[in-house]
C-alpha cells in the first residue's frame, strides 16, 4: 500500500463517515443571534452556520447545507465542539483548528486538546481538500465577528 493510501485511511476514518451520514445539529436555529453563510465555489460546498450566544457563551450551534464528507463532518464536529464555550474560547479554537489544518500540529497551541477534531488534521496530506475542512470554521468566525459577507474558501 502506498503512503497516500495510508494517508487516505487516516483522513477517511469512521468519525468522518459517521458525522457525514448523520450530521449533528443539522437544522436551522430560529432563535439564532448570529449566523453566516459559507461557500466553496470550487467544490460547490455551501453551508449556513447558526449560533445562539447568551452572556458571551455559545449556547447553541447548528448548520445546514451540503458538501463533501470532509466539509460536512467538519461542520458537524465543529457544532459539537463549540456548544457551551465562551465566545473568546471559540475564537481561540478557530485559530488553533485553522493552524492545525493548514500548518500542522506544531503551529497550534501545544496545550490544546483537539479531541475528536484531531481527525480533521488528515487533510493536510491532501492540499486540494484543506478548504473543504476549513469552510465551516471560517463561516463560524464570520458569524461571530458579524461579517455578513459569505465566507469563501477557494
Partner 1 sequence: MNAPREPGVQTPILDLATDFPILARPVHGRRLAYLDNGATTQKPAAVIEAEARFYRESNANIHRGVHWLSQHATELYDGARATVQRFLNAARADEIVFTRGTTEAINLVAQSWGRPRLAAGDEILLSTMEHHSNIVPWQLVCEQTGAVLKVIAVHDNGELDMAAFEGLLGERTRLLAITHVSNALGTVNPVAEMTRRAHAVGAVVLVDGAQAVAHQAVDVQAIGCDFYAFSGHKLYGPTGIGALYGRAELLRHMPPWQGGGDMIRTVAFDNTTFAPPPQRFEAGTPNIAGAIALAAAIDYVQGVGLGRIHAHEQALLDYGTRALQDIPGVRLVGTAQDKAGILSFLVDGIHPHDLGTILDAEGVAIRAGHHCAMPLMTRFGIPGTARASLGLYNGLADLDALVAAIHKAQALFGTRGGTAPGKGRAA
Binding footprint of partner 1 on the chain (CB under 8 A): 2-5, 8, 12, 17, 21-27, 41-46, 62, 66-70, 126, 128-129, 132
Rounded Cα distance between 99 and 45, Å, is: 21
Cβ proximity to partner 1: between 42 and 145 the closer is 42
Nearest to 135 by CA among 51, 78, 52, 91: 78
Contact yes or no for 52/60 (Cβ under 8 A): yes
Considering the complex, what minimum distance in angstroms separates the CB of residue 16 from partner 1? 9
Considering the complex, what minimum distance in angstroms separates the CB of residue 102 from partner 1? 17
Cβ proximity to partner 1: between 113 and 154 the closer is 154
Considering the complex, what minimum distance in angstroms separates the CB of residue 94 from partner 1? 23
Q: Look-up: residue for cell 481527525?
A: 119
Cβ proximity to partner 1: between 7 and 91 the closer is 7
Long-range contacts of 4-13 (CB under 8 A, 24+ apart): 4/125, 7/122, 7/125, 7/126, 10/122, 10/125, 11/70, 11/119, 11/122, 11/123, 11/125, 11/126, 11/129, 12/69, 12/122, 13/119, 13/122
Considering the complex, what minimum distance in angstroms separates the CB of residue 150 from partner 1? 15
Cβ proximity to partner 1: between 44 and 86 the closer is 44
Cβ proximity to partner 1: between 62 and 142 the closer is 62
Considering the complex, what minimum distance in angstroms separates the CB of residue 110 from partner 1? 30
Amino acid at each position: 500500500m502506498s503512503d497516500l493510501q495510508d494517508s487516505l485511511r487516516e483522513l477517511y476514518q469512521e468519525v468522518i463517515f459517521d458525522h457525514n451520514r448523520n450530521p449533528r445539529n443539522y437544522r436551522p436555529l430560529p432563535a439564532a443571534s448570529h449566523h453566516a453563510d459559507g461557500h466553496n465555489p470550487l467544490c460547490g460546498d455551501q453551508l449556513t452556520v447558526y449560533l445562539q450566544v447568551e452572556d458571551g457563551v455559545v449556547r447553541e450551534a447548528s448548520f445546514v447545507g451540503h458538501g463533501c464528507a470532509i466539509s460536512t463532518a467538519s461542520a458537524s464536529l465543529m457544532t459539537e465542539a463549540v456548544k457551551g464555550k465562551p465566545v473568546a474560547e471559540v475564537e481561540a479554537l478557530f485559530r488553533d483548528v485553522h493552524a492545525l489544518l493548514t500548518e500542522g500540529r506544531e503551529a497550534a497551541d501545544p496545550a490544546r486538546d483537539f479531541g475528536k477534531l484531531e481527525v480533521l488534521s488528515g487533510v493536510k496530506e491532501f492540499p486540494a481538500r484543506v478548504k473543504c475542512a476549513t469552510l465551516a470554521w471560517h463561516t463560524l468566525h464570520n458569524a461571530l465577528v458579524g461579517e455578513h459577507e459569505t465566507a469563501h474558501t477557494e
